[in-house]
Amino acid sequence: MEMTRRAFLKMGGLGLLGILAAPVLDTLARTDLGRVMGASGVTTAKRWALVVDMKKCWENGNGSCRDCILACHRTHNVPAIPDGQEQVKWIWTERYENAFPGQENEFAQNLLGQPFLVLCNHCSDPPCVRVCPTQATFKREDGVVMMDYHRCIGCRYCMAACPYGARSFNFRDARPYLGQPNPAYPVRERGVVEKCNLCEERLAEGLLPACVEACRYGALVFGDLEDPASEVREILRTRYTIRRKPELGTRPNVYYVVG
């Protein structure tokens, strides 16, 4: 069959159109994905806060109770690395004069040297979030300063920025230091920074943070600061509380009852 130049060009054009249309049609043919919802039964708030009653902790714990620390570290697969330099910690104790530098005085002997429970303050103006180049750490609407380990590149700017030393870097593989990891929560890989996440994964299930739940003496109180009827607000109203390094303007959301 003889083909005219005109017919040849027509067919060529149609063929080209078909090739170009294939990926477009392919995309259109994909029915859209499922939808997303927030879960019901989630513990929600506008601004989460933690009040640590150190008096209760000292009186009942006798300085040897480590329930909250153990519960947290077990829940979140925090490795027990003995080397102090490479230690990973989410919640630990710090001596009064180190936790509250500038607030101590030589005559307050009852406080000097006392262990204070410290963790990420989930600041309202978190310096770690400002410096993170990948937005791996970010502030959630409910106040949780969150880490997205998928995005962390291990630059450690956040560690330099955090005035509370609340962040730890994974210098080595955590798995040999875990024994039996908690299968419900991931481990972190070498080269990422980690810290307390205020148990956001437990809040999502309507549970309290692991440390709060683990404390037998009710020394840790968790609640919403924006809710005037909350227990944390009640404590802040009636007791004298202090925060760590308030002069830096980070506006910490962890409060301490001392006396």
List 65, 129, 131, 146, residue binding another protein (CB under 8 A): 146
The answer to whether residue 29 forms part of the interface with another protein (CB under 8 A) is no
Nearer to another protein, 53 or 142 (CB): 142
The answer to whether residue 31 forms part of the interface with another protein (CB under 8 A) is yes
Token readout for 78 is 């925090």
Q: Under DSSP, is residue 129 helix (H, G, I), strand (E, B) or coil?
A: helix
The answer to whether residue 200 forms part of the interface with another protein (CB under 8 A) is yes
The candidate with the shortest Cα–Cα distance to 258, out of 82, 78, 117, 102, is 117
Chain centre distance of CA 31: 36
List 148, 153, 218, 251, residue binding another protein (CB under 8 A): 148
Nearer to another protein, 124 or 182 (CB): 182
Cβ atoms of 131 and 160 within 8 Å: the answer is yes
Q: Show Cβ contacts of residue 193 under 8 Å, excluding neighbours closer than 6 positions.
A: 137, 147, 152, 154, 156, 158, 159, 167, 168, 169, 170
The answer to whether residue 181 forms part of the interface with another protein (CB under 8 A) is yes
Strands 48-53 and 254-257: parallel
List 129, 131, 155, 204, residue binding another protein (CB under 8 A): 204
The answer to whether residue 5 forms part of the interface with another protein (CB under 8 A) is no
List 1, 20, 38, 83, residue binding another protein (CB under 8 A): 38
The candidate with the shortest Cα–Cα distance to 194, out of 222, 221, 223, 174, is 174
Smallest gap, in angstroms, from Cβ of residue 35 to another protein?
Answer: 5
Q: Looking only at residues 74 through 113 of this chain, which bind another protein when binding is defined by CB under 8 A?
A: 77
- Applying CB under 8 A, the residues found at the interface with another protein are 31, 33-39, 77, 138, 140, 142, 146, 148-150, 178-189, 200, 204
